[in-house]
Amino acid sequence: MNDKVHVSVESPAGSYTVGNTSFFRYIVRLAEMGLTLRASERESVEMLASIPHAFFDDGITSGNGWRIVPPISMEDWPVMQATPQRLRSALQTARRILWENAAPVGVTAGEIVTIEEELDQVFGVLQQAEAAGFPVNVSYVS
């Protein structure tokens, strides 16, 4: 995996770019950890795993409260568009799963602290978007 992955969460009300690889590895890619999950948990972590890479089009998909918006031009890239509430719910589920499975997935205490700090920033953007009535766009680049 690349050492530098930037996950971008944006809306007209504000934006934040997560530059922490642990956030990507343990939150965005939690579905790849091989954990046994309930259906609702699987739905959340699969939603996060569907966040498109800025330079890779994996097809158009959608789910409950989110969809992949294809690029409009060659200078654009696909983004996941979600309601702030749906993205917050998926992130909170991933956070809980990570805490419950910290040892099996190999996350360190320091990585958890950093992930928590990043989640706080993302939750702030989601709160601003929700208050203004905007969806959020999410993508990543490495």
Residue 62 pLDDT level (bands cut at 50, 70, 90): confident
Indicate the burial class of 97 (C-beta count within 10 angstroms; 0-12, 13-18, 19 or more): buried
Q: Is residue 107 part of a domain?
A: yes
Which residues constitute the domain of residue 105? 6-141
- Per the structure, how many domains does the chain have? 1
Q: Is residue 1 part of a domain?
A: no
Q: Is residue 24 part of a domain?
A: yes
Of 46-60, 81-95, 112-126, least confident by mean pLDDT is 46-60
Tokens of 61: 């998909």
Q: Is residue 133 part of a domain?
A: yes
Tokens of 90: 């998926």
